[in-house]
Every structure is written in C-alpha cells, then in structure tokens.
Amino acid sequence: MHIAFLTPEYPHRDILHSAGIGSSIKNLATSLHKHGNAITIFIYDQPVQEIINDNGIIIHSIKKKRYKFFGWYLYRKHIEKYCNQIIRQENITIIEAPDWTGITAFMHFKIPLIIRFHGSDAYFCHLENRKQKLKNFWFEKLAINQADAFIAPTSFAGEVSKKLFKIKKKEILTIHNGLDLEKFENNSPEKFAKNTILYIGTLIRKKGVLELPGIFNKVRNDFSDAKLILIGGDASDLKTKSKSTWELIKNLFTKDDLNYVDYLGKIPYNEIQEHIKKANVCVFPTYAETFGMVTIEAMAMQKAVVNSTIGWSKELIINEESGFLVHPSDHQMYSDRIIQLLQNDLLCLEIGKQARARVEDKFDIYTLANANIEFYQKIIKK
C-alpha cells in the first residue's frame, strides 16, 4: 500500500513543531515503511514549502497561507488540492488525519479517509469540563462525518469520542500507539540520580502541572533534598488568561521548594532519553489525554511512573504492578506513592522491570503496525 498521513506536526529537524501526535505518527509511519509500504507525510501550517526524503519516507511541508477572508476555509481547500494532486501522482491508497480542529472539514479525497482520535478540542473540553466554541465543534463534527472509519489509541478515547460526535454505523477500532523498542533501551536501570523526580510534557493546565507544587511540597517533607525537573514548552492558560503557565506554577511553589525545581524548557527530542535514564521517578499527573506517549517511553526505559488514574491511563499501566495510578487532585496519595518509590530502590527497579514487560507486550510498534495494515486493507476493500 501507499499510506499518507495529514498532520500539523512531525519530529524532523526541518519541521517547525512536534509533540505526542508527531511522535506516535513517526513511530507508526517508520514501522509501516519497514513492512514494505510507501509512506507520504503531509504537514500543514509550515513556514516553507518543501519536499523532504526522510530515509525513504517522503515529507511534504505545506506552507501556511494567509487570506483576507475565510482563511479557515480557503487554507483547507488549498491543502485538499495539494494532497489530491500528490495522491493522483503517487497512487496513494489511503490517508489518515487527526481529529484535532477538524482539519479535514470541507476536504474531499478520492481515497478512504481514516481519522485517528489523537484528541479533539471537543474531547479535551469534555474532560476538562470547559465550554467549547461552537465553531470548533462544527469543524470537528464535519470532519468526523466525512471520515470512512476511525482508530482510537485507547478504548476510553474511542468511547468518549463516539458519544461526543454521535458516531453511528462507522467502525471505531482501538489500536494503541507504540514504540520501536530497540530505540528505548536502558541497560543500567540501577543507575539514576537519587530522589530526582521528572515531568515531561507541555506546561499546560490540562496536564495537571498546577498540581505539582502541592505534591512536591509534601514529598520534601520526607525528602528535603528531592529535586523536581520539568521539561516541555510553556503555554498560555485559558482560565486565567496568563501568557505563561510556568509563571503560574512558580507562584504556587514555596520559596524553599522552588530552589529544588529546575525548569529546562523545551529541549531536543534526542536528549530526553538521557533525562529519563537519570530520573528516580517519572510523574504525569494529567487530567486530559487520549494516550500519553511519554508515559510508555518512560516505562520502556524501565522507570517507575506515577500517572493519573483517569480513563485512558488504566489501559497503559496496571496499578501497583507496572506503575502507580493516582488522581492528580489527591496530593497526599500522589506524594505518598512518590515517597514510597524514593524510599525503596528495589521497588523502583521491580516496577521498572514490569513496566518494560508491559510495553513489550502491549505497545511494540512492529506488532501494532500489522494491526493498522489489516484495518487499512479492510477499509480499502469496503
């Protein structure tokens, strides 16, 4: 097959931006390519128009265009026209797009369209219990209506999205995101920086980062030398209208605790593994995800993870076996779990070992690529 992905992000040195969606697409695209499929990546909202050959995967960087009026419609039609031209030229057989912002609303392809539930605005508004703009829901609903089928990274994300968009008579298949496990190895899990707690992810309210100061304060009551490292880009805060969530977080730490906090900002993806290896414990107190790529990355590196107990995370971690699940608002329990791990190196190593086994069993991208191929073929035949 020749499979295309339409996406706003993808991890490559010449591409403007990438996060969890981009990582999951690249992992899948690379594995699909190794299975003998041709792969084309269409990346929109880019500063330049260019074509990149990334080890056999062809990337089309689609330049962002500005319009005086109806840009939300005209740019979509521009993307559609460009993609359809390449689809005809290269005999692409199926195309996949994310649900976020309903980018494929108003687009019509001559081949089947799969939408993967990476997380729509409707989905995140629902989980955060905040009101969604009607325009945003309209775009996403139109895109959903035009798709031929759907893939969900967790059953939780699939069920919530199905209800929100009232999807009927179209198949939604759960296929987890995965990792190339050969690229996530930790040959010395017993070596780490003692009492170091690591958070990786965008600094944004929905990721539960505003809970970290309260949790960290309780941890330092038992471990005064505990250190918290934060990695990820800063974001504005919708609730307070602040331009910086980091500034909000800083104000919640006590003056003494802040001396033991190190915010590194956004760093190159290839440097993150070294920080994971050095961590004693990884924490992801998020309120809103569809999956959480960084969680399984940390698990693959044999790290003890304390994650959220909400929906999707129960499909990643078996509580008290391959990690801990705690509601982010329960600062006492969350800190207790971190303290339990900091107190017991053998427990950290055992949970890390079980975490790696869990990833090998459920999130091996080579196995998951086969499931994607079978689903694509099924939809094409229909």
Interhelix angle 134-146/155-165, rounded to 10 degrees, is: 110
What is the reported pLDDT for 16? 75
Residues 156, 292 contacting (CB under 8 angstroms): no
* Same fold across 2-178+364-381 and 181-362: yes
What is the mean pLDDT of the segment spanning 356-375?
96
Burial 39-54 (b: 16+ CB within 10 A, else e): bbbbbbbbeeeeebeb
* pTM > 0.85: yes
Among 356, 329, 294, 232, CA closest to 24: 294
| Angstrom distance (rounded) from CA 41 to CA 4 | 6
Residue 77 has pLDDT above 80, yes or no: yes
Residue 18 has pLDDT above 80, yes or no: no
What is the reported pLDDT for 359? 97
Under CATH, which architecture does the 181-362 domain have? 3-Layer(aba) Sandwich (3.40)
Percent of the chain residues past pLDDT 70, beyond the cut: 100
| Tens-place pLDDT, residues 197-249 | 999 999 999 999 999 999 999 999 999 999 999 999 999 998 999 999 999 99
In what order do the strands lie in the sheet containing 149-152? 50-54, 57-63, 38-46, 2-7, 94-98, 113-116, 149-152, 172-174
> Would you place residue 363 in the very low, low, confident or very high pLDDT band (cuts 50, 70, 90)?
very high
Mean pLDDT, the chain, as a whole number?
95
Residue 286 has pLDDT above 80, yes or no: yes
How do beta strands 261-265 and 324-325 pair? Answer: unpaired
Q: What are the domain boundaries of the chain?
A: 2-178+364-381, 181-362
What is the reported pLDDT for 252? 97
- Give the domain 2-178+364-381 fold: Rossmann fold (3.40.50)
Cα maximum dimension of the chain: 64
What are 75's strand-pairing partners? none
> Would you place residue 23 in the very low, low, confident or very high pLDDT band (cuts 50, 70, 90)?
confident
What is the mean pLDDT of the segment spanning 67-84?
95
> Would you place residue 335 in the very low, low, confident or very high pLDDT band (cuts 50, 70, 90)?
very high
> Would you place residue 21 in the very low, low, confident or very high pLDDT band (cuts 50, 70, 90)?
confident
Residue 35 has pLDDT above 90, yes or no: yes
Residues 229, 275 contacting (CB under 8 angstroms): yes
Residues 7, 97 contacting (CB under 8 angstroms): yes
